[in-house]
Amino acid sequence: FSKLFSSRSNNTGFTEKTPLLKVSSEENRFQRMALHNPDFTTDDDSWDNSSAEFEQRFQLGSEMTSLSRSASSEKYEILDNLHIKFNLPKMRCCLKFLKVSGLFVFVVVCSILFGIYPDQSTSWQMLAVSPLESFSMNLTDFRDSALLKLDIGGPFVAGVVDQQIEEYIVVQINQTEDAGSRRRRQQQVIYNWSLPLSSRRNDQIITTRTFQIPNRGTTFINIQAFLQEPGSVPLSMKHQYLHATVEAQVTIASIILLGVYMLIILEIVHRTLAAMLGSLAALATLATVGERPSMVKVVEWIDYETLALLFGMMVLVAIFSETGFFDYCAVKAYRLSRGKVWAMITLLCLIAAILSAFLDNVTTMLLFTPVTIRLCEVLNLDPRHVLIAEVIFTNIGGAATAVGDPPNVIIVSKQELRKEGLDFAAFTGHMFVGICLVVLVSFPFLRLLYWNKKLYNKEPSEIV
């Protein structure tokens, strides 16, 4: 039995010498000595103790292995997270650098294109035509241009001609074709432009028209007057060549407009910078086409009356906001509605529409937004639906008068329309009836829009 026990103990020591437990040979030697020593071993207890110790060490080894694997996996996850965190700032820096570099290159290219093409504006040419004497000019420098822009000033009738006018000026664009050396050149009328004359010869009205000329031969301009009485008509004329067709110009303008809207929608740059980039691209395109405007013309395009009116309205709205006028209107609407949701929404929409008719509607809506959100928090309402309703009625009210919306200001500030009698009172008188009908239709439509939508928040106001 002792031999059997010793053989078992030897086997036990052999099994404990495994790479999982990593027990050294010296420890195995001490274990064998302890097993053969009668002071340390007994008959049955030694076998039980050795098997129990083996199981404990096996469990300990498996736990150590699992812990080491989990620690290594966590280590790799931490390293991956750190790698991602370090890569995100680098990507942002690269994108920012690309954006700034792209904008810089775009501005430089547009500036170079605007600078290398000179101003193509030609001087006005004074002439006089009569039924017996016409004016003719040969366009020898037409080259490879696609369009001919012709400006003529004289005592013409402004606007649409309703009645039959017997006195007029005829402008003909003629072109001769090379039919061979033995045959005579054939002259063909490409365009025929009639301009009715006014009875008052002192009025000077400038009319402009663009002609698309095929490059097939020599081009002539012939101007002749048809009058009831003998006499002459003084005229002024200038012509300009354009290097792009109408379709190409429309395509380029659409691309520029789409690019500006993409910059504003995606918020790549500030909307003011986006508008400036679009204007710079438009000026560069005009210079490339051959219609580069002069600095005086660019300054004339700025509508200072509209800018001054908008500036004054914004200052007025800022003063109203400092006095708490908009807060008072919102609180007054809440008191009059007595806590009823739709009554409060109706009053807020009416107040916003009335104020937008006399103040700037965009600024009015921006100042109404914080007060509306606060009232919705008190009533536990979803502020998005209320704000959408206010925006709808703000636009409706802003269209009623000439100062409620910037497009209305631009329309009334146009000098040609003001000469026709379209002032503030006339504009408001024409728009007021239509705006009242739109308001009456919008309220039922608003109730129908929010018919199945719950205006209240699902969570309590403390959580919201």
pLDDT of 47 > 80? The answer is no
- My answer on whether 226 and 152 are in the same domain is yes
- Residue 76 confidence (pLDDT): 55
Read off the pLDDT of residues 251-296 as tens digits, 9 standing for 90 and up.
Answer: 999 999 999 999 988 888 888 899 999 999 999 998 888 888 888 8
Q: Is 331 within a domain?
A: yes
Q: Is 67 within a domain?
A: yes
- My answer on whether 372 and 421 are in the same domain is yes
Question: CA-CA distance, 412 to 431, in Å (whole number)?
Answer: 13
Buried residues in 178-193 as b, exposed as e (16+ CB within 10 A): eeeeeeeeeeeebbee
The highest-confidence range among 78-87, 233-242, 280-289, 396-405, by mean pLDDT, is: 280-289
Q: Is 461 within a domain?
A: no
The residue type found at 269 is V
- Residue 42 confidence (pLDDT): 45
- My answer on whether 312 and 263 are in the same domain is no
Coil, strand or helix at 432: helix
As a whole number, mean pLDDT of residues 40-64 equals 54
* Whether pTM exceeds 0.95: no
Coil, strand or helix at 288: helix
The domain boundary residue, chosen from 98, 116, 134: 116
Q: Is 454 within a domain?
A: no
- My answer on whether 111 and 183 are in the same domain is no
For residue 91, name the pLDDT band (cuts at 50, 70, 90).
Answer: confident
As a whole number, mean pLDDT of residues 401-427 equals 80
The domain boundary residue, chosen from 280, 302, 324: 302
Q: Is 439 within a domain?
A: yes
pLDDT of 30 > 50? The answer is no
> Comparing 86 with 228, which gets the higher pLDDT?
228
Strand order in the sheet with 125-129: 125-129, 233-242, 147-154, 205-212
The domain boundary residue, chosen from 91, 116, 141: 116
- My answer on whether 309 and 298 are in the same domain is no
Least confident of 13-27, 36-50, 58-72, 152-166: 13-27
Closest to 278 in 3D by CA, of 262, 265, 259? 259
- Residue 160 confidence (pLDDT): 60
- My answer on whether 221 and 164 are in the same domain is yes
Q: Is 22 within a domain?
A: yes
- My answer on whether 277 and 310 are in the same domain is no
Identify the domain containing residue 129 by its residue range: 125-243
Structure tokens belonging to residue 442: 């919008």
Q: Domains in the chain: how many in total?
A: 4
- My answer on whether 296 and 231 are in the same domain is no
Question: CA-CA distance, 334 to 341, in Å (whole number)?
Answer: 9
Question: CA-CA distance, 389 to 150, in Å (whole number)?
Answer: 50
Q: Is 340 within a domain?
A: yes
Structure tokens belonging to residue 258: 């789409």
Structure tokens belonging to residue 66: 């699992």
- My answer on whether 355 and 438 are in the same domain is yes
Read off the pLDDT of residues 350-375 as tens digits, 9 standing for 90 and up.
Answer: 888 888 888 877 878 887 888 888 88
- My answer on whether 290 and 394 are in the same domain is no
The residue type found at 204 is Q
- Residue 66 confidence (pLDDT): 60
DSSP for 218-267 reads EEEEEEEEE-SSS--EEEEEEEEEESS-HHHHHHHHHHHHHHHHHHHHTT
